[in-house]
Structure 1
Amino acid sequence: MADQETGHARDTMVPIEAIQTVDPEVIAKLPPAIRISIIPHGISLWTRTARLDIEHDDGVYKPYFLKTSSGPLGHAMTQSEFQCMSRIRDIAPDLVPTPIASGTFSSLPDAHFLLCEFRCMTGTVPPPPALAARIADLHRRSGDSGGGGGGTAKFGSDVPTFHGNVRVDHDWSDSWEEYFARTTKALLELEQDAQGPNDEIREMVTPFFDKVVPRLLRPLETGGRSIRPSLIHGDLWHGNAETDAETGAPVIFDAASFYAHNEYELGVWRQPWNEIGEAYRKEYHKHMPKSQPEEDSDDRNALYAVRVNILDSILYKDDPSYRKMLISGMRELVDKFPGGFEEWNALQQKVA
């Protein structure tokens, strides 16, 4: 999510009272305490965030992080983030702040919260070797565990995720190509609704989904090749990764996790605005080899970046730059692969 770090809760409808006093429902999720204080902490769009400082009844002081939201959308967002962060923590416990609970305020019935461990950060993005190694480890471990769909190696998720405040519904698919095509078509329709119809995009829809997507994704799962679903963060730009001030280790947050081709995580690492860029992709592939066919790796990354551009074009509908990047990315791939999978497959058979 390419936020320009504009200011606290610019578009939020969350009442300020949500981070001025500690609601009883939040207190109920905490260990017994004799003293609790709350102060605003951090910058977040569509939400308000705060730090809780707790003196427990055993005399131990401990901080917690509170994110608050409002309305049905806000409720869904906090529930989704809690589930996504919990799934990552189950696989890589130190990589994310420990999620504790999500719920609804009793004093403000239309306000909702996510409560988690507070981690002191340096304010800096982890260096490429450290972050790339941890993300590769997350992908590898989750792939080894059997993937999504109750251990049946499916792509997608039973939890809706959010790109900013844009809801993404996933569901499950046996094939990565089917998952990607189905959900990306739905997102592209949302983009047309958000930005208004665009003839150039609409003219590219058929070749993009009939030629480009099969050409770049079908070879991953045919010809004796296969990929395993990996749990990904889902929106790993530089605003969602920092360095732990105590340990120096990478910490990621604001997850929008689902089970995907592991290389999809790197689509947002192609974006020109993202400080997590090419150096991180190179480091990542030192730990996770490129999927076969390896020669398609960069074009697959460009395809995944197109989907990121679709999401950003929906989210930042008043900024034309994201739609321009979307059109440019689609055009490059449509022009490069007019023959689709059929042409590529025929060539492979000739070579064989």
Structure 2
Amino acid sequence: MDTDTLTLDPAITAALPVQGEVVAISRHGDTNWSTGYKIIIEVDDDDHEFFIKILDREDARELAEGEFESMTLMHELIPEAIVPPIAWGMFETDNSKAFYLTYFRDLDKKHPPDDSLIRLISKIHEKESPTGKFGFHVPTFYGCRKVDNTWCQSWEEFFSRELRSSINFAQAVLQHDEELEGLAKTFFDLVVPRLLRPLETGGRSIKPQLVFGDLWDANVQVDNRTRAAALFDPCCFYGHFEYDFQCMTSDRYSLNYNFVNLYRERVGVSEPAEEFDDRVALYALRNDFHTMGMWPQWTSVLDHVKSEMNRLIKKYPDGLQGFAANAALKNNAAFEQNAALEYNTSLGENAADSTTIQGNEDIPSSNSIVPSQSGNLAPTKVDSA
């Protein structure tokens, strides 16, 4: 019998879908916040393979439950790409430890073709929130950090809360960078409402849709046996679907902006569409802050983060007022264009009418000049109000 140091807790044994002889337990997978094992159980000369994560850290219970609930939901939507979860629970022998149990799948670290992945991700994004709100029914984890999934009425509220939390998470490692602190205040005053509130105002709206939440190349691989896509380690909640592109703006990821552009072309994006790239840049900042908080060696991205924040502040210096003013200008221009069109149309109609009444000098032509209310002369349409 080839076994590792793991002893199957009674709670794990009870959760297994088959009962038989444990013939092998071995460490498996690159897991940062848990320990992964492959378990082989023999039943009537047939081997059954399972994968289990052991979580021995703070929030172990919520980590296991969040993954189970996320994977259960996604398996309903894209069963061809999701290994069905079996169970999660706490150890009977040590109530500080939790486990997540699923079926074993041998994976290739290459990510699947973009076409295949877009089909899968767009299916996930079609799932709408059962409450009509932004959030999730349990906490989920972005790496080791809990996401506050408390239900919100607006995406701006949900994302602002998450971005603030990510900045605070990074600041603990950065030892409270004063420049970043000042930038963040201006950023939340100007840029965040400027880019997010137009999604849900002015006749526009977005539906809270399921997002994978941690979509990057390490979590999107290929089954070695079937060569089908395999997705895992999600951080699900109901949010703005464009949020799933947060890990695709940097060269440090192999799943990159080529995927984003193809998704935009094949599936589409939210309105205002012309601000899509800036919204993705905003979402990418959240990922960068979180990366710095998890991995101190990545504090090197701080200069890039500050540069992006400054770029967006410079681009939107008037915040939401700038959007309102721009919308008013566009509406006024549209009004003037429509008014001019109506005026020119009426000129043609009245000119046509004048040709049908010959010799009547008392009927004013469409080019009559009459005094305006200000006393100046102005062209006026016949029958105008």
TM-score of the aligned structures, taking structure 1 as reference length: 0.87
Could you tell me how far apart the structure 1 residues matched to 2:168 and 2:19 are? 49
**Aligned position for 1:214:** 193
Q: Would you say the 8 A contact 1:234–1:255 is kept in 2?
A: yes
Structure 2 counterpart of 1:345, from 295, 305, 324: 324
Q: Are 1:55 and 2:81 an aligned pair?
A: no
User: Alpha carbon RMSD of aligned pairs, Å?
Assistant: 1.9
Which runs of structure 2 are paired with 1:120-269 in the superposition (5 Å)?
120-140=106-126, 142-143=127-128, 147=129, 151-269=130-248
**Aligned position for 1:334:** 313
Q: 1:347 to 1:187 in 2, by over 3 A?
A: same
**Aligned position for 1:13:** none
Q: Are 1:20 and 2:9 an aligned pair?
A: no
Q: Would you say the 8 A contact 1:18–1:108 is kept in 2?
A: no
**Aligned position for 1:14:** none
Which runs of structure 2 are paired with 1:22-101 in the superposition (5 Å)?
22-36=8-22, 37-56=24-43, 60-101=46-87
Q: Which 10-residue stretch deviates more, 200-209 or 296-305?
A: 200-209
Could you tell me how far apart the structure 1 residues matched to 2:286 and 2:80 are? 29
Q: 1:71 to 1:199 in 2, by over 3 A?
A: closer
Partner of 1:304, secondary structure, is: helix
**Aligned position for 1:115:** 101
Could you tell me how far apart the structure 1 residues matched to 2:254 and 2:124 are? 21
Q: Are 1:288 and 2:267 an aligned pair?
A: yes
Could you tell me how far apart the structure 2 residues matched to 1:46 and 1:266 are? 23
Could you tell me how far apart the structure 1 residues matched to 2:49 and 2:304 are? 41
Q: 1:348 to 1:318 in 2, by over 3 A?
A: same
Q: Deviations over 1:55-75 (max 9, x none)?
A: 235x54321111111133333
Q: Please report how far the alpha carbon of residue 40 of structure 1 lies from its aligned counterpart in structure 2 after TM superposition.
A: 1.1
Amino acid at match of 2:309: M
Could you tell me how far apart the structure 2 residues matched to 1:225 and 1:56 are? 57
**What percentage of aligned pairs have identical amino acids?**
33
Amino acid at match of 2:172: D
Amino acid at match of 1:40: R
Q: 1:283 to 1:55 in 2, by over 3 A?
A: farther
Structure 1 counterpart of 2:91, from 105, 128, 141: 105
Could you tell me how far apart the structure 1 residues matched to 2:91 and 2:139 are? 22
Q: Would you say the 8 A contact 1:268–1:305 is kept in 2?
A: yes
Q: Would you say the 8 A contact 2:124–2:212 is kept in 1?
A: no
Amino acid at match of 1:77: L
Structure 1 counterpart of 2:291, from 304, 312, 326: 312
Q: Which 10-residue stretch deviates more, 222-231 or 20-29?
A: 20-29
TM-score of the aligned structures, taking structure 2 as reference length: 0.80
Amino acid at match of 1:297: F
Q: Unmatched 5+ residue regions in structure 1?
A: 1-16
- Count of matched residue pairs: 328
When Rg is computed on C-alpha atoms for both structures, the one with the higher figure is: 2
Q: 1:53 to 1:196 in 2, by over 3 A?
A: same
Amino acid at match of 2:159: F
